[in-house]
Amino acid sequence: MGRYVDQDLDDDQFWRDELRHLRNEAGLSIRQLSHAADVSPEQIQRFEKGLGGMPIARLERVFAVFGYELELMRTHPEGEVVDTSWIKEL
């Protein structure tokens, strides 16, 4: 997560962009992420497209798949590489 973050983005847009970036970087489909986070694929897809919000508890579960806690993502943008290869086997 060493990318530049535009602090003027609204929070929802920030989280949408980060989720899409992490998911693509890990090579995960929405369905694979959905299964790993126990969140419906429809909700993840709507959230990524900006068509709906996501309760914070679900958003925390989604980011936890990548080894992140939401509070720390904003404070410490340089995260460790997290092995997500196990998700593809689900």
Enter the tokens of residue 38: 């126990």
Give the pLDDT of residue 82.
Answer: 53
Q: What is the pLDDT of residues 42-67, one digit of tens each?
A: 999 999 999 988 888 898 899 999 99
Distance CA 23, CA 17 (A): 10
Average pLDDT, the chain: 78
- Report the pLDDT averaged over residues 60-75: 76
Sign of CA dihedral 61, 68, 45, 11: positive
Please name which of 41, 43, 68, 54 lies closest in space to residue 13, comparing C-alpha atoms: 54
Give the pLDDT of residue 44.
Answer: 95
Which residues, 6 or more positions from 54, have their beta carbon under 8 angstroms from its beta carbon?
39, 43, 44, 47, 62
pLDDT over threshold 60, residue 86 = yes
Q: What is the pLDDT of residues 30-43, one digit of tens each?
A: 999 999 999 999 99
pTM for the model:
0.68
11-26 and 56-64 helices, crossing angle to 10°: 30
Give me the percent of the chain exceeding a pLDDT of 70.
67
